[in-house]
């Protein structure tokens, strides 16, 4: 349909002949008049057809429509405040059935998430999930805009690796001709290679893979990672400040473009965070959480999910803020390439970003001095030989640099208050899901 109008544009279209295409959402087949609610990728509209007194072929076609059938409709657009759905309707003149749907839908509003994921192409027709995908697109658009404004270069790192990207844990190993390969857990090493290559500042939005058998609301075996790395930093504070800018710009854009739709479909108001975000050293966070009556199982380790929720409540009560940077992680729970503090070798120049009680980011200043890096590799009980390809990046001159990795689906999930990342994914991959 070359002259097809999307439904969202009809409100600003003058009365007259229009053509639309979409799915049958509702059919009310009454004796004297027929009402069809048609939905396309942009919204829904009411189509009305007064049933003639005598037999009528068009009325019979309308009566035969099943929920989910895809149709093309031509009719007269009419603005009428009495019409509940958007104050407009289309008076039907012609209808073509492009594809008739099976009459019994395999899913309904009360269907479980697992079954809805089996039929994701139907599930995604729901207006709130359509909006979710548009929100995700806007977030990525704005992030790219900010990066390009700041002279970042986009990279596409390989997802097949000859050796593990960070550790031997949570790896998918696969046959690769006469040898084997690993699916990339992270573009971390390649981001740092770009710093030694003189690219200065880079970003990537792409898939990563974790062989993690977790069945939580925030874990997946394949997800989209948002990564950036920047040279010429003084500390991890520079990375944190840039991430604040990315998040504030994206959330502001989403609120401006979709705020009213999000409020209508999700019942929540998008809140634009103030800067700077609160910052709390991890050791202090443990004390705060314990004072609130919860003791994290490992006091020398990271916060567990309940600890993250408790620190979020503290930050909301103290600062009225949804975000908090947890900083100064101990070296024993951070990778070997995180730079350590000059005044305390036991702590790293790293952070996690917590939003609404869930971790969305790990970031740090990286160690760029080869002699220090080699020492930290050995301190972790790793072998230099197995990391030579990575260590070579720093044997020929490397600038001070740092960056972060952030989960896109977690950002979307938390922004829209979705119950889990299965809802925030186009197609979810987990330990027991490889289809559709």
To the question of whether residue 366 is assigned a binding role by annotation, the answer is yes
Q: Who contacts 230 (Cβ-Cβ below 8 Å, separation ≥6)? A: 152, 200, 201, 202, 238, 239, 242, 401, 402, 403
Outline where DSSP puts E strands in 196-334. 201-209, 222-231, 279-281, 323-327
Structure tokens that stand for 24 in this block: 């049958």
The reply to whether 409 sits in an annotated binding site is yes
Q: Is 6 annotated as a binding residue?
A: no
Q: Is 9 annotated as a binding residue?
A: no
Binding residue per annotation — 51? Answer: no
- Nearest in space to 278 (alpha carbons), one of 329, 314, 226: 314
Token pair for residue 134? 């548009």
Q: What secondary structure letter does DSSP report for 32?
A: S
Q: Determine if residue 26 is labeled as part of a ligand binding site.
A: no
User: Is 408 assigned a ligand-binding role in the annotation?
Assistant: yes
Which residue from 66, 74, 70 is spatially nearest to 23, judged by alpha carbons?
70
Q: Are strands 222-231 and 201-209 parallel, antiparallel or unpaired?
A: antiparallel
Token look-up 């900083």 returns 327
**Residues, the chain:** 436
Q: How far apart are CA 7 and CA 24, in angstroms?
A: 13
CA distances from 124 to 62, 131, 299 (A): 25, 9, 43
Question: Is 410 annotated as ligand-binding?
Answer: yes
CA 261 to CA 128: how far, in whole Å? 9
Beta bridge partners of 39: 23, 44
Q: Is 359 annotated as a binding residue?
A: yes
- Bind-site residues for ATP: 359, 407-410
- Bind-site residues: 166, 210, 359, 362, 366, 407-410
- Bind-site residues for L-aspartate: 166, 210, 362, 366
């Amino acid at each position: 349909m070359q002259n097809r109008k999307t439904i969202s544009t009809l409100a600003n279209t003058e009365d007259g002949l229009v053509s639309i295409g979409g799915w049958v959402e509702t059919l009310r087949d009454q004796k004297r008049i027929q009402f069809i609610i048609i939905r396309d990728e942009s919204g829904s509209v009411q189509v009305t057809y007064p049933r003639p007194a005598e037999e009528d072929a068009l009325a019979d076609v309308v009566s035969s429509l099943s929920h989910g059938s895809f149709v093309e409709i031509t009719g007269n657009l009419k603005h009428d405040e009495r019409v509940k759905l958007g104050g407009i309707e289309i008076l039907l003149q012609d209808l073509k059935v492009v594809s008739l749907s099976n009459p019994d839908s395999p899913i309904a509003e009360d269907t479980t998430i697992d079954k809805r994921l089996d039929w994701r192409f139907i599930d995604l027709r729901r207006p709130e999930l359509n909006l979710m995908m548009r929100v995700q697109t806007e977030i990525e658009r704005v992030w790219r805009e900010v990066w390009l404004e700041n002279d970042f270069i986009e990279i596409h790192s390989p997802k097949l690796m000859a050796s593990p990207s960070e550790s031997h844990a949570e790896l998918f190993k696969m046959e690769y001709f006469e040898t084997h390969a690993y699916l990339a857990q992270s573009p971390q090493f390649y981001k740092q290679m770009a710093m030694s290559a003189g690219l200065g500042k880079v970003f990537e939005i792409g898939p990563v893979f974790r062989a993690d058998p977790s069945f939580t609301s925030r874990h997946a075996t394949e997800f989209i990672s948002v990564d950036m790395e920047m040279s010429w930093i003084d500390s991890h504070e520079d990375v944190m400040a840039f991430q604040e800018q990315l998040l504030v710009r994206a959330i502001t854009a989403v609120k401006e473009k979709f705020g009213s739709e999000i409020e209508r479909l999700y019942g929540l108001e998008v809140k634009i965070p103030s800067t700077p975000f609160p910052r709390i050293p991890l050791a202090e966070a443990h004390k705060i959480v314990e004072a609130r009556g919860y003791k994290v199982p490992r006091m020398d380790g990271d916060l567990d999910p309940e600890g993250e929720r408790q620190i979020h409540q503290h930050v909301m009560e103290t600062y009225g803020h949804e975000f908090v940077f947890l900083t100064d992680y101990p070296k024993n729970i951070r990778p070997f390439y995180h730079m350590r503090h000059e005044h305390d070798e036991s702590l790293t120049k790293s952070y996690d970003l917590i939003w609404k009680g869930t971790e969305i980011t790990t970031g740090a200043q990286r160690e760029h001095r080869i002699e220090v890096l080699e020492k930290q590799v050995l301190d972790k009980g790793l072998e230099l030989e197995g990391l030579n390809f990575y260590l070579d990046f720093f044997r020929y001159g490397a600038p001070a640099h740092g960056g972060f990795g952030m989960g896109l689906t977690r950002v979307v999930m938390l922004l829209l208050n979705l119950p889990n990342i299965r809802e925030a994914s186009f197609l979810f991959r987990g330990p027991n899901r490889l289809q559709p």
